[in-house]
Amino acid sequence: TETAAEVSTAKSQALFEEAMDVMPGGVTANIKYFKPHPIVMEEGHGSRLYDVDGNEYIDYLLCYGALMTGHGHPAVYTAVTEQMYSKGTTIFGAPHRLEITMAQKLRDLYRGIDQVRFCNSGMEATLLAVRLAAAYTGRHKIAKFEGHYHGGYDQVLMSVNPDETEEGTAENPACVPDSSGVSSECVANTVVLPFNDITACETILRKQADDVSCVIMEPIQSGFIPASPDFMKQLRALTEELGIVLIYDEVKTGFRVSLGGAQEIYGIKPDLTTLGKVLGGGFPVGALGGKREIMELCSPASGRDILTAGTSGSEKAFFHSGTYNGHPTTLAAGLATIQLLEKRGGIADVFRKTEQLKRGLTELYQEFNVPMQAMGVGSIFNIVLTDEPIRNLRDMRKADTDLRRRIDEALLTLGIYSKPMNRYSMSTAHDEADIEKTIDAHRKALERVL
Ligand code: PMP
């Protein structure tokens, strides 16, 4: 049997020490950090990652879900290289065909999308969504859910993971910034709602309806805690009644829980939708889509715009621009990825394999008498170590995080890669052999830590 000593990450450790000198914490994104040191990666192929020490891992992080066809799928690789070699590495700074093709694709797939604008990250997409809602309603507060992540800027970086001592009550959560340096003005302009509790949401929103421009939410929190269908229906009706823009942040769920996102599963039309991750086929991307009536506010043809001064209109247009928006390489990769998922055996096959892994792990943990739920939708799931029902962030605290961490640390030495405590994402590249190896590694991990 394998032991931790057989796996060396000495080169990772040495490189990480170098990194600590030139990057705070040795990382360029806080999320990459974990103790004792993150693993420094060298290559990725299919479902596999290879670190600088030559260790091979089955990758379930998949860049936080961004890679739905694994690393370097030949079709994605071909699309990207053809785009670059035949049309140039250039980003034109002018309209091009792929933007239109992708916009049409998103309109066809997402029931809440009539029109689209592209940007370069999920965070940018939600930032635009929130400001567009303010422009549309003339109101300046936003409402978001406790435990929901929408990127790292001030107004939404609230109560994603608040400390229990400052979080307020379950029915009326406090607004707690998740970073230092966030202004009190931002805190005052953010309303925090409890997920999956429509009575409490209604009480909070009715009180402040005149000031609240939007409700932004992850329809399936972190991709694995679904909103109840009733909650979603009632929230749609309530926001409509109060004139509040409903934003589904589908950066994580888009193409992962269904090709048409969570909105397809629930059968509900949000006013605005944000996308990212899978949409870029491994390259940086974000997109904001929504109802024509709201999206049209972005049009410089209908108002004054600082970049096209004097074009037309007396009203100020909503400002949206970006040097790299609609990057051809990104869109080529994204379109190739979506095509692969649409093919027979594409996304459906990923879902089938995900269910197979979830079932195998569930049976294994039962064998070890460890309470566990493999919770998730479509191609994402999380290993939640409790039998208690999970409806929101506070319920998640009932899970045994200490045991989970020890299992994850053992798995890293057994060739299973995810950031400890992170969700599992699957791809078209993961096969039956990967699933078997993964279940076997969990068996060894459980034997080791229990
Ligand atoms: N919204 C959600 C739901 C996300 O999961 C993420 C990224 N994890 C973001 C927004 C931010 O996206 P990005 O990291 O591309 O800025």
DSSP summary character for residue 39: P
Order the strands of the 190-193 sheet from edge to edge: 115-119, 286-290, 272-276, 245-249, 212-217, 141-145, 190-193
pLDDT of residue 300: 86
**E strand or H helix at 404:** helix 401-413
CA pair distance 419, 4, nearest whole angstrom:
17
Contact between 52 and 40 (Cβ < 8 Å)? yes
Q: What is this structure's pTM?
A: 0.96
CA pair distance 275, 19, nearest whole angstrom:
31
Q: What is the pLDDT of residues 129-174, one digit of tens each?
A: 999 999 999 999 999 999 999 999 999 999 999 999 999 999 999 9
Quote the ligand 1 centre to 227 CA distance (angstroms).
18
State which of 156, 224, 251, 256 you would mutate to test the pocket of ligand 1, scoring each by most atoms of that ligand within 8 A of its C-beta: 251
Q: What are phi and psi of 381, to 5 degrees?
A: -150, 165
Residue 4 pLDDT > 80: no
Quote the ligand 1 centre to 251 CA distance (angstroms).
6
400 is catalytic: no
Nearest to 294 by CA among 221, 214, 236: 214
| Closest ligand 1 atom, residue 277 Cα | 15
CA pair distance 354, 337, nearest whole angstrom:
18
Task: Give SS3 for 277.
Answer: helix
CA pair distance 205, 214, nearest whole angstrom:
10
Residue 5 pLDDT > 70: no
Percent of the chain with pLDDT over 90: 92
| Closest ligand 1 atom, residue 284 Cα | 15
Domains of the chain: 4-72+344-449 (3.90.1150.10), 74-342 (3.40.640.10)
pLDDT of residue 26: 97
Catalytic residue among 249, 305, 395, 434: 249
Question: With bands split at pLDDT 50, 70 and 90, how would you rate the model's confidence at 247?
Answer: very high
Q: In a 10 Å sphere around its CB, with 0-12 CB exposed, 13-18 middle and 19+ buried, how is residue 35 labelled?
A: exposed
Q: Please identify which residue in the block is written with the tokens 């940086």.
A: 284
Binding site membership of 253 for ligand 1 (Cβ less than 6 Å): no
Quote the ligand 1 centre to 123 CA distance (angstroms).
6
pLDDT of residue 2: 46
DSSP code per residue over 302-326: GSB-GGGTTSS-SSBPPP---TTTT
Residue whose CA is at the smallest distance from ligand 1 atom 10 = 150
| Closest ligand 1 atom, residue 31 Cα | 8
Residues 6 or more apart whose Cβ sits within 8 Å of residue 123 = 150, 151, 152, 153, 286
CA angle 341, 344, 347 (to 5 degrees): 35
Dig out the tokens for 245 from the structure: 């823009």
Question: With bands split at pLDDT 50, 70 and 90, how would you rate the model's confidence at 1?
Answer: very low
Reported as half-sphere exposure (CB side, CA atoms, 13 A), residue 264 has a value of 18
Residue 87 pLDDT > 90: no
Q: In a 10 Å sphere around its CB, with 0-12 CB exposed, 13-18 middle and 19+ buried, how is residue 84 labelled?
A: middle
Question: With bands split at pLDDT 50, 70 and 90, how would you rate the model's confidence at 381?
Answer: very high
Nearest to 337 by CA among 115, 109, 87, 116: 109
Cis status of the peptide bond prior to 36, with omega within 30 of 0: yes
149 is catalytic: yes
CA dihedral 294, 298, 304, 310 (to 10 degrees): -140
Residue 198 pLDDT > 80: yes
Nearest to 247 by CA among 287, 198, 202: 287
User: Lowest-pLDDT range, 5-9, 69-73, 121-125, 286-290?
Assistant: 5-9
Binding site membership of 150 for ligand 1 (Cβ less than 6 Å): yes
pLDDT of residue 65: 97
Question: With bands split at pLDDT 50, 70 and 90, how would you rate the model's confidence at 301?
Answer: confident
Q: What is the pLDDT of residues 40-60, one digit of tens each?
A: 999 999 999 999 999 999 999
Q: What is the pLDDT of residues 306-316, one digit of tens each?
A: 666 555 566 77
Question: With bands split at pLDDT 50, 70 and 90, how would you rate the model's confidence at 32?
Answer: very high
Residues 6 or more apart whose Cβ sits within 8 Å of residue 14 = none
Residue whose CA is at the smallest distance from ligand 1 atom 5 = 252
Q: What's the average model confidence in pLDDT over 242-263?
A: 98
Residue 95 pLDDT > 90: yes
State which of 119, 123, 257, 393 you would mutate to test the pocket of ligand 1, scoring each by most atoms of that ligand within 8 A of its C-beta: 123
CA pair distance 232, 226, nearest whole angstrom:
10
pLDDT of residue 313: 60
CA angle 42, 46, 48 (to 5 degrees): 50
Catalytic residue among 110, 149, 248, 266: 149
Q: In a 10 Å sphere around its CB, with 0-12 CB exposed, 13-18 middle and 19+ buried, how is residue 387 labelled?
A: exposed
Catalytic residue among 105, 141, 252, 277: 277
Question: With bands split at pLDDT 50, 70 and 90, how would you rate the model's confidence at 93?
Answer: confident
Binding site membership of 250 for ligand 1 (Cβ less than 6 Å): no
Residue 261 pLDDT > 60: yes
Residue 342 pLDDT > 50: yes
The CA R_g of the chain, rounded to the nearest whole Å, is 22
105 is catalytic: no
Q: What are phi and psi of 48, to 5 degrees?
A: -110, 145
Mean pLDDT for the chain overall = 95
Nearest to 170 by CA among 202, 142, 195: 195
Residue 243 pLDDT > 90: yes
